[in-house]
Amino acid sequence: MNSGFEVDYAQIYKTFHTGIPILGDFQLTETLIVSWIVMIIITGLCIFLTRDLKIENISKRQAFAEMLVETGNNFVRNNTGSNKFDKLIPFVSALFATSVVSNLISLIGLRSPTADLSTEAAWAIVVFIMITSTKIKTNGFGGYLKGFTTPIAVMTPFNILSELATPVSMACRHFGNILSGVVIDGLIYWALGLASAALFGLIPGAVGDFLSKIPILGVGIPAVTGVYFDWFSGCMQAFIFCMLTVMYIANAAEEG
Amino acid sequence: MDIQALMLITAETKQTQELVTLVPWTFIIQICNLFIQVFLIKKFLFKPINDILEKRKNLADKSIREAREAQSEADSLKEQYEDSLTNAHAEAAKIVSEAQKEAQTKADTLVREAQEEAASIKARAVADIEQEKKKAINEAKDEIGSLAMDIAGKVVEKEISESDHKKLIDDFLNKVGA
């Protein structure tokens, strides 16, 4: 057992030199690999849930799949208050599913792709572009620019700042919560390892030497803290991210 | 052991990226991943489930529509029956009234004929009576004539010839009767 505290960094498996100036080298990181695993899991689940669909006499599996779809539909429709945004439903659902599965995949020992800021930044930028395009579509490009000068022209810099703060805050909120979960999990394992080493080191002789090398206290206790830091936080952040997405886009369509 | 040293060690053993960093390629690939995921979830979850929901809705709609059609058909049939019933009632009433009218006419005719007949019978009776009366008067005339002749014969006791006699009586009667 390493006595030092170690945070779970994202590994880089392979680096490809692309030679493109700004983008730099392409790194095949743990984030990407686990992202693909997450995608495979979600898609596999979808395919499994929608096997042999029937109109009548549906199976429990189909009922569950229908429930998921209905939940997605209701989530978007209730939060926007209309059917105008039905095109968003698959997007928001995909976002939520990816986020939840990514957050919870740390439970099986893989590193969450959401513990990498690049992931959240990517999502937040997509959402930001959607918000902006909705605003432009609603008010026209002139109206969109004019929106920055409300209520008075002096506010323009602040409005621009707050506009830019939207994706940054969305990305950082999600990232921070998941990263803190990763860090705290690391801390807990580390502390429990030290504690069990100290505790079983008290047993004299070879038995004590052997037992003190195994972090016995690490079994069980992290599961309790994990309920909050992994389960609750993971689901909550996914929900918040999707909720904000829907809200911002709905607001963008109402303006003007 | 401090964290800096640890990081050096880990950097030697396995390559890691920094804890808080934005890697452009990862960023781009994650955007692509998100859209691929949207596409996959749309294709494998939303499309089939929405299709099924749509089909079920259509089925329910169809049942409702069929029920509604059956109801409207029943309604129209009922209306038709009611119409024909009303017609039948009207027809019956018409027949009855016609029958009544006819009966009335017939009765009226009968009464009129009876009245006419009664009138004709009465008229004939009156004529008969008149004739009888005439006849009776003539007979009485004859009777009175012969009686007067007898009485005169007896009073005068004088035989006059039958023809004189007759002439005498006729004169008398003409003076009396006319």
Q: What is the pLDDT of residues A229-250, one digit of tens each?
A: 888 888 999 999 999 999 999 8
Answer whether residue B1 shows pLDDT above 50.
no
Answer whether residue A66 shows pLDDT above 80.
yes
Query: What pLDDT is attached to residue A26?
Result: 83
Indicate the range of A81-85, A214-218, B15-19, B31-35 predicted with least confidence: A214-218
| C-beta atoms of B49 and A65 within 8 A | yes
Pick from B14, B17, B33: CB nearest A39: B33
Strand partners, B21: none
How far off is chain B from A91, nearest CA to CA, in Å? Answer: 5
Q: What is the pLDDT of residues B10-31, one digit of tens each?
A: 445 567 778 788 888 889 999 9
Query: Which residue, chain included where needed, has tokens 């169809």?
Result: B62
Nearest CA in chain B to A58: B52
Contact with chain A for residue B50, Cβ under 8 A: yes
Mean pLDDT score, A155-180: 92
Which residues in chain A are contacts of B44 at CB distance < 8 A?
43, 46-47, 50
User: Nearest-CA neighbor of B35 among A11, A91, A24, A121?
Assistant: A91
Query: What pLDDT is attached to residue B38?
Result: 93
Query: What pLDDT is attached to residue A123?
Result: 94
How far off is chain A from B65, nearest CA to CA, in Å? Answer: 18
Answer whether residue B82 shows pLDDT above 60.
yes
Mean pLDDT score, A54-69: 87
Nearest CA in chain B to A124: B31
Average pLDDT of chain A to the nearest whole number: 86
Query: What pLDDT is attached to residue A1?
Result: 42
Which residues in chain B are contacts of A98 at CB distance < 8 A?
33-34, 37
| C-beta atoms of A23 and B37 within 8 A | no
- For A18, list phi and psi in degrees, rounded to 5: -90, -30
| C-beta atoms of B25 and A25 within 8 A | yes
Kindly report the length of chain B: 178
| C-beta atoms of A122 and B30 within 8 A | yes
Which residues in chain B are contacts of A21 at CB distance < 8 A?
none
Query: Residue A81: left (phi > 0), alpha (psi -120 to 50), or beta?
Result: left
Contact with chain A for residue B20, Cβ under 8 A: yes
Burial class (CB in 10 A: 0-12, 13-18, 19+), A8: buried
Mean pLDDT score, A62-86: 89
Task: Return d(Cα A61, Cα A76) in angstroms, integer.
Answer: 23
CB A178 within 8 A of CB A7: no
Burial class (CB in 10 A: 0-12, 13-18, 19+), A27: buried
Does this model's pTM top 0.80? My answer is: no
Six-digit token pair at B162?
Answer: 């039958």
Q: Would you give the distance in Å from CA B126 to the centre of its chain?
A: 55
CB A92 within 8 A of CB A75: yes
Indicate the range of A11-15, A39-43, A89-93 predicted with least confidence: A11-15
How far off is chain B from A187, nearest CA to CA, in Å? Answer: 13
Contacts of B79 (CB under 8 A, 6+ apart): none
Query: What pLDDT is attached to residue B5?
Result: 57
Query: What pLDDT is attached to residue A207?
Result: 75
| C-beta atoms of B3 and A4 within 8 A | yes
Question: To 5 degrees, how large is the angle CA A189–CA A191–CA A197?
Answer: 100
Task: Return d(Cα A255, Cα A153) in angstroms, integer.
Answer: 18
Mean pLDDT score, B142-155: 80
What percentage of chain B has pLDDT greater than the value 90?
52
Mean pLDDT score, A111-131: 92
User: Nearest-CA neighbor of A6 among B16, B35, B115?
Assistant: B16
Nearest CA in chain B to A57: B56
How far off is chain A from B12, nearest CA to CA, in Å? Answer: 12
Q: What is the pLDDT of residues B50-76, one digit of tens each?
A: 898 899 899 999 999 999 999 999 999
Q: Determine if the peptide bond prior to A151 is cis (ω within 30°).
A: yes
Answer whether residue B141 shows pLDDT above 50.
yes
Query: B85 or A221: whose pLDDT is higher?
Result: B85
CB A62 within 8 A of CB A43: no
- For A220, list phi and psi in degrees, rounded to 5: 100, -55
User: Nearest-CA neighbor of A115 among B67, B26, B20?
Assistant: B20
Measured from the Cβ of residue A45, the count of other Cβ atoms closer than 10 Å reads 17
What percentage of chain B has pLDDT greater than the value 70?
88
| C-beta atoms of B15 and A98 within 8 A | no
Six-digit token pair at A59?
Answer: 């199976």
Query: A205 or B41: whose pLDDT is higher?
Result: B41
Q: Is A20 helix (H, G, I), strand (E, B) or coil?
A: coil
Answer whether residue A121 shows pLDDT above 90.
yes
Segment holding B31, helix H or strand E? helix B24-41
Contacts of A172 (CB under 8 A, 6+ apart): A117, A120
CB A79 within 8 A of CB A247: yes
Which residues in chain A are contacts of B28 at CB distance < 8 A?
23, 122
Answer whether residue A223 shows pLDDT above 80.
no
Indicate the range of A52-61, A163-172, A186-195, A214-223 predicted with least confidence: A214-223
- Interface probe for B, chosen from A117, A168, A182 (most Cβ of B below 10 Å), is A117
Contact with chain A for residue B146, Cβ under 8 A: no
Pick from A4, A22, A53: CB nearest B6: A4
Which residues in chain B are contacts of A4 at CB distance < 8 A?
1, 3, 6
What percentage of chain A has pLDDT greater than the value 70?
96
Burial class (CB in 10 A: 0-12, 13-18, 19+), A20: exposed
